[in-house]
Amino acid sequence: MKKINIFLMIITIICAAFTIIGEMDKGIVIILKDSSIVLTVILPYIVQKICKIKINEGFVTIWVIFIFMAHYLGVTAEYYNTWIGFDKVTHTISGILTAYIAMIILEHKKIKGLIFNILFIISFTWLCAGVWEVFEFTCNALFGGDAQKVVETGVDDTMWDMIVAFIGSIVFSFWYVLNSKRLLK
């Protein structure tokens, strides 16, 4: 699994490098935005090294796919503006990713109640989705822009982002229930 993750990271970094080279004339902000993909995609291994903890390779796989989709395809390649529904797909994956993080927290704390765990997984995902939407709102308020498409949709975009993250956590919860005998041992 680690070899696959490294391969996916290399592909993402190569895509970012080609984008950086192609946008050298667009200014430092664009170059920094595109360059941040490199740091973001390898972040799990940086955290692992600094904090001296073992990060689950399954989590790293979901992380790399999410960063490639959200940061590279969504922001850099502008799929958020050109592919209808792309935002909802990435928010669904973010729901799965944060649900996976919640499961890792539960495993680390050795909490074994199935109902509690499912409620924790779903609640943690909604918390993360809500915090992200507050972050987007704050950035819009401080720096301008309309990442939440408030002008275009009112609160619809924000609400759908949170709903599809919730759906991602429900999908993950079904997987969790199906694997609960193995996971809760």
Torsion sign over Cα 30, 34, 35, 37: positive
**Closest by CA position to 8, among listed 35, 36, 42:** 42
Distance separating alpha carbons of residues 14 and 29, to the nearest angstrom: 19
Q: Check pLDDT > 70 for residue 175.
A: yes
Which DSSP symbol is given to 106?
H
Which residue ranges make up each domain of the chain? 1-67, 84-185
pLDDT for 7-22, tens place per residue? 999 999 999 888 888 8
DSSP codes joined into one string, 67-84: HIIIIIIIIIS-HHHHST
Q: Quick one: angle between helices 156-178 and 86-109, nearest 10?
A: 40
What percent of the chain lies above the pLDDT cut of 90? 46
Which DSSP symbol is given to 1?
-
Instruction: Give every CB contact of residue 81 below 8 A, 6+ residues apart in sequence.
Output: none
Three-state SS sequence of 25-59: HHCHHHHHHHHHHHHHHHHHHHHHHHHCCCCCHHH
pLDDT band at 73 (very low <50, low <70, confident <90, very high): very high
Torsion sign over Cα 87, 92, 96, 99: positive
Q: Check pLDDT > 90 for residue 130.
A: yes
Q: Check pLDDT > 70 for residue 129.
A: yes
Q: Is 174 exposed, middle or buried (0-12, 13-18, 19+ CB in 10 A)?
A: exposed
Q: Is 154 exposed, middle or buried (0-12, 13-18, 19+ CB in 10 A)?
A: exposed
What is the predicted pLDDT for the residue at 185? 66
